[in-house]
Amino acid sequence: MDAVRLVIVEDSRKYAEVLAKALAKAAGIEVAGVFGTAEELLASLSRTDADVALLDIGLPGMDGIELVSRLRAERPEMELLMLTAFEDEERLFRALKAGASGYLTKRAPMPSIVQAVKDISGGGTVISPALARRFCNHFASLGTPAETTDRFGLTEQEKELLGFLARGLTNAEAGSVMNLPRRTVRTILSHIYKKMGTNSRVEAVTLGLRAGVVSV
């Protein structure tokens, strides 16, 4: 299996060096570039081949959320993992709404970051159950309680799959639990995306949490 090619965008040179060194040592990961700003990455994008981008939010100049939007437009195949000190739900939701594939805080231990990069590249949804519960609390505080009916019209199987994704399982892991081949999981996901009006696993999970059709 080919190594996951990773780029890092982090304005703290010291932390970027720590990340790059640790991730480069991990089996199955190749660090393809380290950038201090969003603008540096975008300027090098035509020469940068990467499967996953590990992005800070609080960048000088263009912030990480705007960078996600740009990368989604220019490199839709690239998986985008936020790694940041910010933990407020509104900023988290904005990042995921922009198209981020997952969200970790800088307090996460290095083995968790390594695993998250691999999970993201393999079609996983990197959002911890704790953050998912905070989403529910955030939506409740905004006066958007869970609905009593499923406005998306999801089938029980679709809800079950979305629930496994909310718990952090990869597509393959969810398929194994549900006794479904990977191709069938992808087909079910495509139906979920169409019904929910999204093309992002994480946004589908957060919309499901908000609507009360997914629990963690």
Average pLDDT score over residue span 34-43: 97
| One domain, residues 93 and 191 | no
- Do 96 and 26 lie in one domain? The reply is yes
CATH number for position 93: 3.40.50.2300
79-99 in b/e form (b: 16+ CB < 10 A) is bbbbbbebeebebbbebbbbb
Looking at per-residue confidence, does 111 or 213 come out higher? Answer: 111
Within this chain, do residues 79 and 106 fall inside the same structural domain, yes or no? yes
User: 89-98 vs 129-141: helix axis angle to the nearest 10?
Assistant: 110
Q: Which of 159, 156, 189 is nearest to 172 (CA)?
A: 189
Element (DSSP H or E) covering residue 29: strand 29-35
Boundary residue ending a domain (122, 145, 167)? 122
- Decide if 128 is inside a domain: no
* Predicted pLDDT of residue 148: 44
Question: Which CATH number is 189's domain given?
Answer: 1.10.10.10
Q: Are 55 and 68 in contact (CB under 8 A)?
A: yes
Mean pLDDT of the chain: 83
Which structural domain, as residue segments, surrounds residue 114?
A: 4-122
pLDDT classification of 197: cutoffs 50, 70, 90: confident
pLDDT of residue 4: 93
Q: Is 146 found in the same domain as 49?
A: no
Mean pLDDT of 124-146: 59
- Choose the final residue of a domain: 122, 147, 170: 122
Co-location of 104 and 158 in the same domain: no
**211 has a pLDDT exceeding 50:** yes
Mean pLDDT for 108-119 is 87
Q: Is residue 121 within 8 Å of 114, Cβ to Cβ?
A: no
pTM of the model: 0.70
Overall number of domains in the chain: 2
Structural domain includes residue 170: yes
117 with 138, same domain: the answer is: no
Does residue 151 share a domain with residue 115? no
Residue 97 lies in a domain: yes
Across residues 190-216, what is the average pLDDT? 79
44 and 24 in a common domain: yes
108 and 169, same domain (yes or no) = no
Q: Same domain, yes or no, for 116 and 140?
A: no
Residue 213: name the closest of 142, 126, 155 by CA: 155
> Whose structure tokens read 């191709």?
183
Ranges of H-type helices in the chain: 13-25, 38-44, 64-74, 89-98, 110-121, 129-141, 156-166, 171-178, 182-196, 201-211
